Amino acid sequence: MLKVKELTGGYAAEPVIHSLSFDVQKGELFGILGPNGSGKTTLLHMISGIMRSDTGSIYIKDLPIQNYSAKQLARTVAVLPQHSSQTFSYTVKETVSLGRYAHQSGWLNTWTQEDERIVQEVMEQTGVLAFQDKSMNELSGGEIQRVMLSQALAQQPEILLLDEPTNHLDLSYQKDLLDMMKKWSVEKGLTVISIFHDLNLAALYCDNLLLLEKGKIQIIDTPNNVLQQERIQHVYKTEIEKHPHPVLPKPQMFIVPDKQAGDDQEIKIDQQYITQAEEYISLHSPIPLRTMSSGVTGAGTGWYDTFVNRHVNHDYNCEDHLEEMKLFLQERGFDSAETVGMMTAVDLQYAVYQFYQERDFSIFIIVTAGVGNAVDASRASEHTEDSSPGTINTWIFINAKLAEEAFIHSIVTATEAKVKALMQLNVMDFITDSSATGTSTDSVLVAATQRGTLLQYGGTATPLGKLIGKGVYECTMKALQKNQYKREAE
């Protein structure tokens, strides 16, 4: 559909873009990225016929762009401008009708039924039909953008060029516009070439991306290959973290703000931050901690500064325990959005916590353990109904900076140590009559300050793994013994 060959050119003597070559296929949604001044707009101006190139050529449908007259080009290529100035207050319909200019012929430019039909159709599709008689300066920014899109579509183009189409638009308009573009590229074979400021939107919608750097092509490839962390950091000269989209297999880039004074000050999470109450034990960190956990609220990964382990009765049974837990937290002055909350039937006065110091990092472990509900994980299928509750909640606070994988290592190591403790104390699964590996409702939490030493791994071969293994084993043993002792006392 579009072929660009060795394109060089710019405003004055100094070319803005240097020998760009690329192809765009019919029906493709093609994104152009690049920092300010990298030549994105210049390139788009050349493709839209506003600017001439110094050397090189642009082929549209296999014909050089110079062979097109202004009208011919407008019948093939339409542009959605970034801003549109409204000096005079044309009505919406008058504005959209101008899109038919290139299709009208003769000195009098007669308005045909065909013109009218198409104008009605595109106004319908872009949702501006309802206010077609309104004046343009009565519209909001999003509405104006839709009218301009409608005008561009009235040209019945095969290629649609967009210059930062989502600029000045609300989130929902951004999504609507790009969803519409995607739909048309798929259903009608419309080729869409768009400049994007927002790398994440480009990643979500584009089939291919062209990354410009100082007027040259850095890379043309699929979003996942273009949006590599190192590449984007290099081209945009800024701190960026790449992360997958939570629900789609698309990459997303996150800006990392510069550290402020005090941001790097090390913080040691230890027992001074613990509050022990009748019905809960909580830890309130002075800074949010990077957390991976299987609690009730704040489960999964996130950043939290408050951690609550709540005591519930043996017969606690609530249909919506998440809502109930949120209510519980709110009533006690915790912000449920900032809090990881867990539950246990274990008496909280038997909680065990211990601080462990290594050479350049430290960990703080809190365990509450009951085994009334002990299960052999390998034979859990033989358990048919809930038996008496009893839970081992393991919290590990790490005063260091952890890589993503170190969180997972830590959870694995903590689990292994817990199992060892259960074995050591000969805890049995009474249903299967075999050694138990835990209870059916165990939870684990790993939270790191993300300050200080970087710990890449947390397996048992590493200092972190060793410390977690030892600590969790010891604390679980102690907690179980305390609980055992209590029961015997009863």
Partner 1 sequence: MPKRSIQTYLNKKLIYLLAVAFLTSSFLAGVSIGAVSVPIMDLLNILAKEILHLPIEQTNEMYTNIVMNIRLPRVILAGLVGASLAISGAAFQGLLRNPLADPYTLGVSSGASLGAVIVLFFSFSMPIIGSFTLPVFSVSFSFATIFAVLFFARKIDRSMKVESIILTGIIFSSFLGAFISLMIALTGNELRQIIGWLLGSVSMRGWSYITIILPFFFVGVLVLMLNAKELNALSFGEDRAQHLGVNVKRRKLTILTAGALLTGAAVAVSGTIGFVGLVVPHFIRQLCGPDHKHLLPLSLLSGGGFLIFADLVSRTIIAPTELPIGVITALIGAPVFAAILMKNRTGRRR
What are the residues binding partner 1 (CB under 8 A)? 45, 48-50, 69-75, 77-79, 81, 84-85, 87-91, 94-95, 98-99, 101-102, 104, 107, 109, 133, 135, 137-138, 151-152, 155
Cβ proximity to partner 1: between 41 and 291 the closer is 41
Output the smallest distance, CB 71 to partner 1, in A. 4
8 Å CB contact between 222 and 178: no
CB of 79 to partner 1, least distance (A): 4
Contact between 28 and 185 (Cβ < 8 Å): yes
Tell me how crowded residue 133 is: count the other CB atoms within 10 A of its CB: 9
Nearer to partner 1, 72 or 440 (CB): 72
Quick one: 164 or 376, whose CB is closer to partner 1? 164
Q: Which is nearer to partner 1, 63 or 186 (CB)?
A: 63
Minimum CB–partner distance for residue 237 and partner 1 (Å)? 28
Please say which residue, 77 or 406, places its beta carbon nearer to partner 1. Answer: 77
- Nearest approach, Cβ of residue 12 and partner 1 (Å): 12
Q: How far is the CB of 89 from partner 1 (least distance, A)?
A: 6
Contacts of 388 (CB under 8 A, 6+ apart): 314, 372, 373
Contact (Cβ atoms closer than 8 angstroms) between residue 111 and residue 120: no
- What number of CA atoms fall less than 13 Å from residue 254's CA on the CB side? 7
41 vs 218, beta carbon nearer partner 1? 41
Q: Give me the least distance between CB of 65 and partner 1, in Å please.
A: 13
* CA–CA distance, 438 with 370 (Å, rounded to integer): 9
Write the Ramachandran bin of 445: left for phi over 0, alpha for psi from -120 to 50, otherwise beta.
Answer: beta
Smaller CB separation from partner 1, 92 or 455: 92
Q: How far is the CB of 32 from partner 1 (least distance, A)?
A: 17
114 alpha carbon, distance to own chain's centre:
45
